[in-house]
Structure 1
């Protein structure tokens, strides 16, 4: 029964609980057992709250028996990255420095998941302070990829991505400042969406870079990602950057396909060479969209190197401002990889930072005019390199590590800096049987459209069943 429950996608599990085919208590017990067992073995699990979770599950079952449902995720157990605050609970943020930090409030996204009926069962490991794309963390143990435990998950949503891929939970929340949703989604065979900047509140989530941080879901399917995004999106008075635009129904158009849509396949101007197998696999997926009625043309990506340089400057300045006192007082408590990405920010001038921030609006304008004048969506690989081994990338904070991290995230940063919606959807396996992700980028607030295209990829290619299920032992 446990394996059957854990094999369900998010929407399947929500339906099973709603109809009474599975009780919330049964589902919660299965998830807790899996996270305590396989989750610990994968270094995915940070801490669990079984008493709270099971009590909530029992209440959900009682309410369902009385004909009352809290929302679309009634009774569904989920666990999230250790940076989302739950009032009165520790939010360790993958660090020694915050290992005893008790959250003063509950994150808005968790409040909204609570209202949708989801049950928060605990926290999952992450890169220290979410600053890193490989997943390394000497404090908590580096999470292992469910496809191959010798390979990285990607970061910084490392524990969450491998937990979903291994079939321990149906979905999770991640953050994406420079790829921390989409890179793990690509390496772990998941659908991960970085929403438009301002669509989802960051209030009560650990800050890294206020102008680049995004919160969004990782899940097994585009429908599952849409369900979570539906629950968490919308204006929040506690986050002044959130938009007041009406939130669309993200699941409504998923079956419409891509007929009539214009795709721009970004093949040049990328600032890197895409691995040949990844390139071939992505091209095959794009042709499946063409067969579904889309048109595609190849073209250059606009100003990738320049945008990446500006994004890194802003990230280093803003995360440096957040953590400067920590570095001054407790330098020895940081892992080398974090310091390597953070310390350059302390040397940046205010003039450089302000100049970069002033360029953001004009850059978005120019990019949209250049890229979307004759295209509805941009398609390209999520990551240009195959999933590395943990041992090969565990070089501390040296230049090799920084170069590796930059190579992994080369095709990611544009949509962070410009705030564009971007989704990674799995499209196949590389020569090491590791997942490959296709990235789909849209105009601001075209989140429903990028999810619709991701759903079309899934239908065209057939269901992509995470290989982690075969490894989970649950």
Structure 2
């Protein structure tokens, strides 16, 4: 059997269930690696070693008694530090909340608890979840396990780095404009932004509630499917989820994609992409064809309008949420974050309401145009190679804005549309950093996205590759 840290989430769950390893051994390995390697990538906010080990021992005792330990029984996980757990500090990546202790627990953490997963602690993120590269003026930049001069992606920076470096086999992140997909692509892991309203947001620090989603960052599509099966579904505390389906998302992961059609939109997603990104995109499509996919070319509507509508919604909602703190404690915001929120106060209420009212019609038009009867859309996650930290923090504000804009180019519009998107690692660029494609589906179309991602990963090994220095136990 592989070393414990090399096991994926489903592999770890199966090994604990059949007695090949103990939860205590898996948890001790994860904690040791989080403590030893986590600081190298600025991945960790806080750990609960003694609490986690006690919980692991309890799982091992329950299993020895023949009790059901759950779908993710005894698997050690850690999550982005914006998910509330009653009695535990939740910073949201800010100094304003560095001592905030919630009295509620996020629905997604409750569901993972119910499935037997262990929560080792909290992971780094961008301040108030507002940087696509992982920048945090207060707690430092998230750094890539592949090269520490590069960011790990944001805002779920610690989640991406921790999974890529094999510190944990899975982590939850949040995505408002790409914050699961950016770190997944930049760190070389699998990240799923669910349909808005599939996974409850109760107990998560909001950024823009009508855009926010919570989803898994894992090593593989099958691991993401296992986590999604646990966290998805209706929650009476989140009205947006009341029509959400409950499914076993591992069903249908057969590796066979015959009968599936993938659309490849021309124009916006490809004309601005670097040549080496386009080469990797085409290579990934060739693999998907081998699995049985039919590929068709389509186009997209005006993405400039869609991106502008997304920006209106996010900026207005963030400004409303931060109004009191920005008035009373403006100096406690990093300059980048403060600059992104303040324009929201100049927006007319009618513009915000219009952007919300137009959303359903714009999404229908995008699906009709980009998908054109296909099962999903295939586009880059990042249209350019991963930028260095220097490229996104140094130089003129205009140059920094251009570098950051290239990171969000392919992701932010999808968030406005509320559609599910799976980011899948598909190779490496000349700078030695990972690249990824994203599969975008119809509302609640996660099953076919996961099926395609799994089929691709059965035929490639990019998702299994270890960053340098991360293989030692």
TM normalised by structure 1 equals 0.97
Q: CA offsets, 1:49-96, max 9 Å, x none?
A: 112111111110110000112311001110000000000100011110
Residue aligning to 1:183: 182
| Native 8 Å contact 2:127 2:337 kept in 1 | yes
Residue aligning to 2:62: 63
Residue aligning to 1:260: 259
In the TM superposition, 1:393-408 aligns within 5 A as 393-395=392-394, 398-408=397-407
Residue aligning to 1:14: 13
CA distance in 2 between counterparts of 1:358 and 1:308 reads: 15
| Native 8 Å contact 2:298 2:369 kept in 1 | no
Residue aligning to 2:71: 72
Q: CA deviation at 1:395?
A: 3.2
Q: CA offsets, 1:189-230, max 9 Å, x none?
A: 111000011110000001000110000000000000111111
Unmatched 5+ stretches in structure 2:
none
| Native 8 Å contact 1:340 1:398 kept in 2 | no
Residue aligning to 2:118: 119
SS in 2 for 1:54: helix
CA distance in 2 between counterparts of 1:421 and 1:353 reads: 23
Residue aligning to 1:163: 162
| Native 8 Å contact 1:266 1:379 kept in 2 | yes
Q: CA deviation at 1:325?
A: 1.3
How many residue pairs get aligned? The number is 473
SS in 2 for 1:6: helix
SS in 2 for 1:241: helix
CA distance in 1 between counterparts of 2:24 and 2:134 reads: 32
Residue aligning to 1:45: 44
CA distance in 2 between counterparts of 1:207 and 1:396 reads: 31
Unmatched 5+ stretches in structure 1:
none
Residue aligning to 2:141: 142
Q: CA deviation at 1:409?
A: 0.7
| Native 8 Å contact 1:127 1:137 kept in 2 | yes
CA distance in 2 between counterparts of 1:391 and 1:420 reads: 32
CA distance in 1 between counterparts of 2:97 and 2:461 reads: 43
Q: CA deviation at 1:288?
A: 1.3
CA gap 1:137/1:85 in 2 versus in 1, 3 angstroms: same
Q: CA offsets, 1:257-299, max 9 Å, x none?
A: 2212111112213386101001001111101111222111222
CA distance in 2 between counterparts of 1:357 and 1:56 reads: 44
CA gap 1:148/1:239 in 2 versus in 1, 3 angstroms: same
Q: CA deviation at 1:40?
A: 1.6
SS in 2 for 1:135: coil
SS in 2 for 1:150: coil
Q: CA offsets, 1:293-334, max 9 Å, x none?
A: 211122222322211111011100001111111111111111
Q: CA deviation at 1:462?
A: 3.7
Residue aligning to 1:427: 426
| Native 8 Å contact 2:269 2:379 kept in 1 | no
